Amino acid sequence: MYVPASEQKRVQRICDSIAVQLDSTHPPTQYRLRSLQHHQGLTPRYVPDSKLKSQIEEEFARLEKVSQRYLLDDIRAAL
């Protein structure tokens, strides 16, 4: 996710100038941009091979069809 530097500075100034309730979010609002910047460059420690990736995609495709069916059934029942 790319956030322009000017927007980062603007949000940081707002967070610094306003009394923000620290425990309302995680990470706390005033540290959120810093946290995002820190984790931006992380690379996954594990990358599945193409066979496993294909199996995962197939499983997601099946789950997607099932969830669509449930959603459509709920919508139809509400009509």
The pLDDT of residue 23 is above 60? no
Residue ranges in the chain assigned as alpha helix (H): 5-17, 29-39, 50-78
Residue 18 — very low, low, confident or very high, per pLDDT cuts 50/70/90? Answer: low
Q: What tens digit of pLDDT does each residue of 41-52 get?
A: 667 788 899 999
Q: What is the C-alpha separation between 40 and 68, in angstroms, rounded?
A: 33
Are 5 and 33 in contact by the 8 Å Cβ rule? The answer is no
The answer to whether the pTM exceeds 0.75 is: no
Q: Are 55 and 40 in contact (CB under 8 A)?
A: no
pLDDT score of 25: 66
